[in-house]
Structure 1
Amino acid sequence: MAKLIFLNLPVTDLARSIAFYRAIGAEQNHQFSDETGACMVLSDTIHLMLLTHPKYRQFTAKPIADTHVVSAALICLSEESRAAVDATVGWAGEAGGRADASPLQDHGWMYSRSFDDPDGHTFEIMWMDPAAAHAEAHAAA
């Protein structure tokens, strides 16, 4: 069985966050959602748990980072093509996120852009040609 990833994100407005992640292609799993949190499915193995601050505080005694001001993590997700990278970042900007929160990277064999969600969590969206990446690694060795 493949390992599953459940990324827990503190959010200030649960309804806004659900709408944002739906706009970039996630589906809500209502079985694991209630008024304090929502499970948003990005793929068969990647799930985002959007948690209100009171719910998030049940899992940690640490202060919740204001990710509009500090970087808590860079979350990188792959896409199937350069066009899919552009589409995802475009949807994020249209849905209330900040498109291209970090500089675009284009190495030919790897292409990435980023967005910040409405709570400031940074996502890098990337496409990579595995064959070209393999050749690049061997050429450098």
Structure 2
Amino acid sequence: MPQMIFVNLPVTDLDRSTAFYEAVGATKNPRFSDDTASGMVITDAIHVMLLTHDKWRQFTDRQIPDAKISAQVMLCLSHDSRESVDQVVARAGTAGGRIDPNPVQDYGFMYGRSYADPDGHIWEVMWMDAAAAEAGPEAFAAEAAAT
């Protein structure tokens, strides 16, 4: 079985958060969902578990930070094109997310934007030119400077 990642996020309104993640392309898995959690599938290997605060507290006694004013993690997903990055960020905005809470990054070979979900969890979405990634950013910068 390939290694998978399950990102667990505390949410204040499970229905709102579930609808938001569906709007940006995730699919709700009913086998891992109930009135305290929504198991959201991004890919076969990437899953997001949206957990009510009461459910979250079953796993840790640490304080739940307010993601709108502090950051514990910043999550990043790759996409196949710059256009796809723009599309997913636009869908996040339409669904009630905050668009570009972090500066847009455009390095030519790599393009990234971000959105915050309704609870303030920041997701970056990025595209990177595969050839440039393999050669390294310095090679891209040298090529750009030569033209």
**CA–CA distance in 2 between the matches of 1:20 and 1:114?**
15
Query: Aligned runs of 1:102-113 on 2, under 5 Å?
Result: 102-113=102-113
Q: Which letter does structure 1 place at the counterpart of 2:97? A: G
CA offsets 1:28-67 (integer angstroms, 9 cap, x no match)? 0000000000000000100000000000010011000100
**CA–CA distance in 2 between the matches of 1:61 and 1:136?**
42
Report the structure, 1 or 2, having the larger strand content: 1
**CA–CA distance in 2 between the matches of 1:98 and 1:137?**
29
**CA–CA distance in 2 between the matches of 1:44 and 1:82?**
23
Find the counterpart in structure 1 of residue 35 from structure 2. Answer: 35
**Displacement after TM superposition at 1:137 (Å):** 4.5
**CA–CA distance in 1 between the matches of 2:21 and 2:134?**
32
Find out whether 1:50 has 2:38 as its counterpart: no
Find the counterpart in structure 1 of residue 77 from structure 2. Answer: 77
TM (normalized to structure 1)? 0.96
Q: Any gaps of 5 or more consecutive residues in structure 2?
A: 142-147
Counterpart secondary structure, 2:89: helix
Find the counterpart in structure 2 of residue 17 from structure 1. Answer: 17
Point out the structure with max Rg over C-alpha: 2
CA offsets 1:3-38 (integer angstroms, 9 cap, x no match)? 111000000000000000010010000000000000
Q: Which letter does structure 2 place at the counterpart of 1:16? A: R
Q: Which letter does structure 2 place at the counterpart of 1:71? A: A
Find the counterpart in structure 1 of residue 126 from structure 2. Answer: 126
Q: Percent identity?
A: 56
Find the counterpart in structure 1 of residue 63 from structure 2. Answer: 63
Larger deviation, residues 74-83 vs 128-137: 128-137
Q: Which letter does structure 1 place at the counterpart of 2:43? A: S
**Displacement after TM superposition at 1:77 (Å):** 0.4
**CA–CA distance in 2 between the matches of 1:27 and 1:18?**
9
Q: Which letter does structure 2 place at the counterpart of 1:40? A: M
Q: Which letter does structure 2 place at the counterpart of 1:133? A: A
TM (normalized to structure 2)? 0.92
**Displacement after TM superposition at 1:72 (Å):** 1.2
Q: Any gaps of 5 or more consecutive residues in structure 1?
A: none
